[in-house]
Structure 1
């Protein structure tokens, strides 16, 4: 938890640094271009304005990348990491609360059911839930429903299977004559 707070403070510092850099970006770029402008660029201004503006825009993009690019990338990565950590903590907390409510639930089986057996339609519905505890409760309800149906299907299949026939072979001439014709064997 302390690590998460440190990362949040670091992110806030990076965001402040980016805000300050963006405030001074135009002035700094103007100074940069004044220093960088040479005769070739000045000639482009008078001879081919389109090429001149392309050169200025390319230089502006390079300047932005050099000045705030790394800081921005670091802030985005840190923000993603913080969001991921918070989501993980929320999920673990919801899972713990769910298991307290449902001590007989087997999380490995439920998660395997979610990953391997649950139809995509239900996955989309579950994934759209905002509440992590609601997610687990809904998933458990679906798990029990689907597993209950499978148990019923197994019982029905066992009931529908015919009994094993025990008997003696008939004394049909087809068997006694040694015929190899498939149609005559039975």
Structure 2
């Protein structure tokens, strides 16, 4: 287990008995980001995953890669050259197909920061830089920062599954606002990403 994850588990368990129970119930963190991916790929995968399960997302990405007879993720040019109807046949909605075309176009025209540039950017600077692109919203960027970059202190407060989990565990009789959720999870810093991972994996019963 990563030393950072071990520190995160200890930190979360020390917040209060509820967090301790969450960590003990789920077990050791097995979160695996993919920092080797190019920004356009990370963003496209994040958009694909919106409102879908991990299994459904993986299936769509697999069909996308299969279009090009390779197991590797397609290049920006390959995506740009693929029409919306073909992308739709992979499982992308028209809205998502348009969105990944926009991201691929941005990559093709060198309008996305490089991995080296991103490594030097703060979370807020990266949010500002990427949100200038059409179809790239805060949730998409946060998912990219979590699942591609592996940044440890991201709490995607507008994620529906996460909000449902937090409400169920901490305030089942209340409809939490984003501000209340952020306040409730603030003690998890600087390991809010790991806290989110535990909340996503905590049993629903």
TM-score over 0.5 (shorter chain): no
Give TM-score, length-normalised by structure 2: 0.24
The structure with higher relative contact order (CA 8 Å, sep 6+) is: 2
Give TM-score, length-normalised by structure 1: 0.25
Structure showing greater radius of gyration is 1
